[in-house]
Amino acid sequence: MEKVRFGVIGMGNMGSGHVQNLFAGKIPGAELTAVCDIKPSRIEWAKGICGDSVAYFDDSRDLIRSGKVDAVLIATPHYFHPIIGIDAFENGLNVLTEKPVGVYTKKVEEFMAAAKKSGKTFGIMFNQRTDHFYQKMREMVKGGELGELKRCVWIITDWYRTQAYYNSGGWRATWAGEGGGVLMNQCPHNLDLWQWIFGMPSAIYANCEYGKYHDIEVEDDVTAMAKYPNGATGVFITTTGEFPGTNRLEITGSKGKLVYERGRLTFTKNEIDEREFTFSSNQGFASIPSSTEEIAIPEGHGEQHNGILKNFTNHILYGEELLAPGYEGINGLSIANAMILSSEKGKWVDLPNDGEEFWALLQEKIKTSKNKEDAGVVFSTEGTYGNK
């Protein structure tokens, strides 16, 4: 294979960008050969960009069986990610899905099983993993520079959205259409990075407020706590209803503290490990000598979406290690599901959480969800993406 032939399924905000980048040849070794959308207006838009160079479909099943693609990039509403992905794997294609990997872990486990059975490449568009700030933080944490990990706090409240944003599509911010709110739409990248850098928690306790700041039925304000296997703790705070917001990630260990905020990464390093100092010092109010430095990250935020596309393509062509394997998409989703489940139950929820229990809860919420139809399309949990 000299080039990977891509088909983009779904040409909304994200999919349209992928179409333009692939068609413009910004991804070496990749070629756009097909696109799909259920809305005729999006097909006409794509024709204005690509002309007769690609094949056009209004049903994902037809694109997948066309023989015109080696891989699909799925950029549809969330519920369809595993549905389309499973179909693609069963028909011998490689799959790169937009985030989140799905809405509930029960379906994602089926997605993962289909990927494993197919033997094809499975990737997820976790473009923030290309950000050199987050890569450096992960390198330092995993490399032991912070010592014994104690706490991870992420305040990510700069996701401000107006009511007009939520009114822009009937599927938005509904249990039936999107499967959640800020955790499912804005924060999948943050939840992925939280566990990618600091590790998976063993338990979650959360308070999720539904429609606190907007006329929506899903969560727009979340405060969560986490426990980790080594005894460390974490806090995750997010909302779409604050302005001005904050984006501050702070990680503390026995050897110091990392803080990433406003484009600056600082490391305060203890001269003596806090665990050693605590039991060796004879002073009750002693301070550990320390120094703070700003860590230079000249490469900045990396190649983002195109970086993931390049890596995915190179993996297929040359065996390059995947930066964002699709199998890891279930980690952040498990945390999001656990937060909703914990909030509903009013108690700690262990991870990995019970996929069946969350699925039962989600089904109940879908029953009362409004705007189940948008432009004549029913967003069902087992439906297909197409106009047949």
pLDDT at 121 over 90: yes
The pLDDT mean for the chain works out to 95
In a domain, 360, yes or no: no
Look at residue 55 and tell me if it is in a domain: yes
- 67-76, 323-332, 375-384 — which is least confidently predicted? 375-384
Q: List the end-to-end C-alpha distance of the chain, in Å, as a whole number.
A: 33
Enclosing domain of residue 95: 4-127+304-326
Q: What is the CATH number for 46?
A: 3.40.50.720
Please indicate, yes or no, if residue 376 is contained in any of the structural domains. no
The confidence score (pLDDT) of residue 372 equals 58
CATH number at residue 262: 3.30.360.10
In a domain, 99, yes or no: yes
The confidence score (pLDDT) of residue 383 equals 66
Contact 386, 58 (CB under 8 A): yes
Domain boundary among 247, 272, 294: 294
Residues 280 and 140 in one domain: yes
Last residue of a domain, one of 294, 317, 343: 294
Q: Does residue 199 sit in the same domain as residue 232?
A: yes
Does the pLDDT value for residue 19 go beyond 50? yes
Could you read off the pLDDT of 163-215 as tens digits, one per residue?
Answer: 999 998 778 899 998 999 999 999 999 999 999 999 999 999 999 999 999 99
Regarding whether 145 and 220 lie in a shared domain, the answer is yes
Decide: 200 and 333 in contact? Cβ < 8 Å: no
For 278-290, what is the mean pLDDT?
A: 95
Chain segment 34-93, per-residue pLDDT in tens: 999 999 999 999 999 999 999 999 999 999 999 999 999 999 999 999 999 999 999 999
CA distance 107 to 111: 6
73 and 147 within one domain: no
Q: Are residues 18 and 121 in the same domain?
A: yes
- The residue count of the chain comes to 388
Total domain count for the chain? Answer: 2
Does a structural domain hold residue 353?
no
Task: Indicate if the pLDDT at residue 356 is higher than 50.
Answer: yes
Predicted local confidence at residue 375, as pLDDT:
34
